[in-house]
Amino acid sequence: MGYSQLVRGHVGGVARGINIPNAQPDQAGLASVNPIFTWVRLAQRVPVRIHIDQVADGIRLVAGMTATVQIDAPPRASPP
Q: Per-residue pLDDT for the chain (80 aa), expressed as one digit of tens each?
A: 678 888 899 999 887 766 666 555 556 666 666 666 666 565 556 778 889 999 988 888 888 887 888 888 877 877 77
pTM across the whole model: 0.56
**CA-to-CA dists, residue 15 to 10, 29, 37, angstroms:** 15, 10, 19
pLDDT at residue 44 in the model: 58
Residue 29 included in any domain: yes
Residue 10 included in any domain: no
**CA-to-CA dists, residue 38 to 19, 23, 32, angstroms:** 16, 17, 15
Contact in structure between 29 and 14 (CB atoms under 8 Å)? no
Please count the structural domains in the chain.
1
Residue 4 included in any domain: no
pLDDT at residue 36 in the model: 62
Residue 61 included in any domain: yes
Torsion of CA 71, 72, 73, 79, to 10 degrees: -170
Residue 7 included in any domain: no
Domain that includes residue 43, residue range: 17-73
Phi, psi of 44 (to 5 degrees): -95, -5
pLDDT at residue 51 in the model: 92
